[in-house]
Amino acid sequence: MRQADYVTEVRIATRKLWSALNELKALQREWTALDYMNTLSEDAFQGENAGLDASAIAAIVFTTTDALLTLLAAGHDTNLARAL
């Protein structure tokens, strides 16, 4: 039974990863449309967001997301898609 549970857990994690990457891609469009590099206020970086700034968020939303998508486009997306 544990083996079936393991496969199920892999599939759940894969769906979360796939969904997160799609969310980040959508956040790229929002960032661009709302010009967040120039319009995010200091208030956005208070509380749990303290220590971050627009450049750090842009690096996540664009640089890291695009690097992951490039890796997936090299054939790894097919591996993930099989488990969706």
Whether 54 contacts 40, CB under 8 Å: yes
Question: Which residue is listed with tokens 């759940």?
Answer: 12
- Quick: pLDDT tens for 24-81: 999 999 999 999 999 999 999 999 999 999 999 999 999 999 999 999 999 999 999 9
Q: What is d(CA 52, CA 72) in angstroms, rounded to the nearest whole number?
A: 27
- Mean pLDDT for 8-20 is 97
Read off the pLDDT band of 1 (50, 70, 90): confident
Whether 62 contacts 25, CB under 8 Å: no
This prediction's pTM: 0.87
